Structure 1
Amino acid sequence: MLDPQAATSTPLSPDLFEAAEARTAHNYHPLPVVVAHAEGAWMTDVDGRRYLDMLAGYSALNFGHGHPALLAAAHEQLDRVTLTSRAFVNDRFAEFTAKLGDLCGKDLVLPMNTGAEAVETAIKVARKWGYEVKGVPAGQAEIVVMAGNFHGRTTTIVGFSDDPDARDGFGPYTPGFRTVPYGDLAAAEAAIGPNTVAVLVEPIQGEGGVIIPPAGYLAGLRELCTRENVLLACDEIQSGLGRTGRTFASDHEDVVPDLYILGKALGGGIVPVSAVVADRDVLGVLRPGEHGSTFGGNPLACAVAVGVLDLLATGAFQERAAELGLELRDRLAAMVGRGVTAFRSRGLWAGVDVDPSVGTGREVCEALMARGVLAKDTHGSTIRLAPPLVVSPDDLHWGLDQLAAVVGG
Structure 2
Amino acid sequence: MIFSGSIVSLPYRYCAFLMGLRGMTANPSENQELTLDQLFPAGGKTLLTGTGKQFIERIGLEAVREVVLAVMLGENVRTHTEPLTRRRITQISGALVAMFANGWLYTENFTEELSKLALQQLTTRKRRGADKTSTWLANWAIGLTGKSDQNVVGKRSSRILDYIADFEQAIERAAEQCRADIGDIRMTLGYVEDLQGRKIELNWKDIARLTTAIGSATLTIRGSEKSMYGKLFERLILGSFLTILGFQRVDPTTNTRTRNVFWLSDSSDLRESDATLLLRPGKLARFDMGFIGPGNSEISKDKLSRFARKIETAGSSHSSVTFVVVDRLPSTLTTQQAAEQIGAEIIQMSMQYWPRELAQKLGARLGLQHELQKMRDEQMHAYLQTKLSDIPIQDFLTGVSIAQLQEEPGNYVTGKSSG
Same fold (TM over 0.5): no
Q: Which has the greater radius of gyration?
A: 2
Larger RCO: 1 or 2 (CA < 8 Å, sep 6+): 1
| TM-score with structure 2 setting the length | 0.24
| TM-score with structure 1 setting the length | 0.25
| More helix per residue | 2
